[in-house]
């Protein structure tokens, strides 16, 4: 059966005609009006293609297709209407981001050809998204893992931000968790160009000189310049560039961009990064949010509010932080690729080798085995079993 198609019109006779003419060629559903169409999408979606009339009471086609895009960005949208004036067509393209604009009357064969073209467009979009989410994301993860082997402390911070971001994305129902996850994975990549002594000062909490502070401030620019060379990561590069920008326009780069004009991923990262700096434990406390509230203009108020609601442990302020997964204690030879470190791996002399939060790869497991031959590791090692399907869904996009 082909990908699902939804027809929306306020005229039940037209919908009946669609069913008679097209039901043998498509997996087809219909809805009378925009509100009913949104309900069908919620209950039976996602749909590969949505075809909507323009002139409908209460909610016109442009408004309906705009909401379809928000609910299901991959869905290919088409408009079928008897009102073919230029302004309607322009608004449909600009606001509804439609694939085709068809005029009534439209014969079943012509309509079927258009729907088949839309389905092919959907397959192309879905294939590209799969490439992004699996192939490209996997390559980026390998890059970040290799870098983190040489700086485990830096990765430990990234892993915590990733966990917080997944919870926040679910709580806020953000539709592109993949882009947010990529932004957080790559946000610190600009620091690889910093002199080693500057990195050590940062880890030790020492005061930086003016020159060193300027180097650090410009690290997001370096990160952007590195990331933008990777195809399909232009938006991620832009979000990383604005990670230090305040909601009020303060901070680097200071080019006047502020508020919702800043990339959403950058606004989330600014809140979570500053929370991490104000937090001593695994989860941000109410005191950490009070620290950020002193400079409240720097943060997107909706994101800050949502972060407090979902990240503060319940015993602290009634938040909804998720229950911790079951931790297993295993020996070195029992480590698997389905394990994620629940605690730091350290030597018997308490030297950090691999930070908690790492999803283990074959290279990491091999590194731990080789390291153990030179300097014994403390065992057993604390891990959690990773649910690939659940973790992928949390980081993925619509």
Structure tokens at 143: 């890059």
Contacts 24+ apart (CB under 8 A), 248-253: 248/297, 248/298, 250/297, 250/298, 251/298, 252/217, 252/218, 252/220, 252/221, 253/220, 253/221
139 or 11: which leads in pLDDT: 11
Average pLDDT over residues 324-336: 88
pLDDT confidence tier of residue 154, bands split at 50, 70 and 90: low
Instruction: Give residue for tokens 């002199």.
Output: 195
Q: Does domain 328-388 have CATH number 3.40.630?
A: no
> Can you give the pTM of this predicted structure?
0.63
Average pLDDT over residues 230-245: 91
ω into 46 cis (within 30 of 0): yes
Domain borders along the chain are 4-125, 151-317, 328-388
Average pLDDT over residues 122-138: 80
Rounded-to-integer distance, Cα 47 and Cα 68, Å: 10
CATH number listed for the domain at residues 151-317:
1.10.3210.10
pLDDT digits (tens, 9 = 90+) for 178-201: 889 899 989 988 888 888 788 778
- 297 pLDDT exceeds 50? yes
- DSSP-based helix, strand, coil % in the chain, nearest 5: 55, 10, 30
193 or 152: which leads in pLDDT: 193
CATH superfamily of 4-125: Response regulator (3.40.50.2300)
pLDDT confidence tier of residue 73, bands split at 50, 70 and 90: confident
Half-sphere exposure of 257 (CA within 13 A, CB side): 17
Query: Which pLDDT belongs to residue 390?
Result: 47
Same fold, 4-125 and 151-317: no
Tell me what the pLDDT averaged over the chain comes to. 84
């Amino acid at each position: 059966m082909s990908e699902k198609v939804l027809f929306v019109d306020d005229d039940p006779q037209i919908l009946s005609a669609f069913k008679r003419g097209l039901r043998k060629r498509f997996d087809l559903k219909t809805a009378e009006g925009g509100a009913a169409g949104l309900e069908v999408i919620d209950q039976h979606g996602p749909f590969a293609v949505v075809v909507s009339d323009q002139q409908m009471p209460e909610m016109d086609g442009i408004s309906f297709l705009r909401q379809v895009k928000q609910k299901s960005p991959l869905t290919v949208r088409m408009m079928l209407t008897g009102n073919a004036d230029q302004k309607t067509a322009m608004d449909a393209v600009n606001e509804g981001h439609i694939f085709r604009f068809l005029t009534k009357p439209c014969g079943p064969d012509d309509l079927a050809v258009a729907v088949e073209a839309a389905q092919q467009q959907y397959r192309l979009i879905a294939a590209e998204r799969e490439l992004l989410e699996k192939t490209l994301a996997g390559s980026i993860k390998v890059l970040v893992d290799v870098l983190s082997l040489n700086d485990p402390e830096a990765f430990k911070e990234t892993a915590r931000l990733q966990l917080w971001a997944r919870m926040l994305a679910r709580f806020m129902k953000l539709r592109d968790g993949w882009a947010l996850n990529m932004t957080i994975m790559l946000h610190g990549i600009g620091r690889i160009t910093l002199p080693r002594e500057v990195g050590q000062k940062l880890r030790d909490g020492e005061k930086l000189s003016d020159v060193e502070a300027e180097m650090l401030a410009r690290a997001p620019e370096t990160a952007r310049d590195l990331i933008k060379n990777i195809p399909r990561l232009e938006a991620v590069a832009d979000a990383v560039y604005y990670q230090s920008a305040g909601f009020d326009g303060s901070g680097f780069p200071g080019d006047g961009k502020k508020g919702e004009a800043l990339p959403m991923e950058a606004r989330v990262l600014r809140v979570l990064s500053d929370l991490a700096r104000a937090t001593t434990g695994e989860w941000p406390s109410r005191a950490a949010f009070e620290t950020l509230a002193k400079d409240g203009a720097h943060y997107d108020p909706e994101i800050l509010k949502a972060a407090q609601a979902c990240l503060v442990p319940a015993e602290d302020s009634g938040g909804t932080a998720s229950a911790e997964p079951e931790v297993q204690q295993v020996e070195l030879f029992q480590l698997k690729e389905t394990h994620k470190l629940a605690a730091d791996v350290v030597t018997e002399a308490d030297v950090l080798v691999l930070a908690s939060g790492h999803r283990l790869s074959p290279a990491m497991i091999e590194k731990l085995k080789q390291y153990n031959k030179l300097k014994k590791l403390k065992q057993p090692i604390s891990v959690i079993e990773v649910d690939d399907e659940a973790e992928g869904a949390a980081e993925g996009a619509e």
